[in-house]
Amino acid sequence: MTLTFAWRAPFTSPELRRLHVASFGGGDSAGPIDWWARVNAHSLGWVVARDGAALAGFVNVAWDGGEHAFVLDTMVAEPYRRTGAGTRLVALAAEGARATGCRWLHVDFEPHLTKFYLESCGFSPTPAGLVSLA
């Protein structure tokens, strides 16, 4: 198992859709999402991990157009979990954001991911707020 990682590397919407469903469950209740168009229109960048031609991981980096970037949708395919692949994805996301002039990288996460983001990826806890718009 040799993974390669790349900032803003190409991917297809169907392969990212499969990884997204495997990582978060659910499906495309409103129809298939064109992931390629979405990240190109709204993201600072993303990191793709591949094992040969197979998509093994992905992380999206959104931003505010200035100094703040945001990690979204960190996903690692099951066979590559707990191998350091997720940590490497986030590290490269930070490098990519830094190279574009961002000074801050934010992440929101569920409680079971605290150790991953704070210990493995080096984020610091901060106070934050959230309003449900649903």
pTM metric for this prediction:
0.92
Q: Does 101 map to a domain?
A: yes
pLDDT digits (tens, 9 = 90+) for 20-75: 999 988 765 556 889 999 999 999 999 999 999 999 999 999 999 999 999 999 99
Domain that holds residue 17: 4-120
> Secondary structure of 72-119 in the HEC alphabet?
EEEEECHHHCCCCHHHHHHHHHHHHHHHCCCCEEEECCCHHHHHHHHH
For residue 91, what is the domain's CATH number?
Answer: 3.40.630.30
Domain count, the chain: 1
Residue 116 lies in a domain: yes
Structure confidence by residue, pLDDT tens digits, 117-130: 999 999 999 998 88
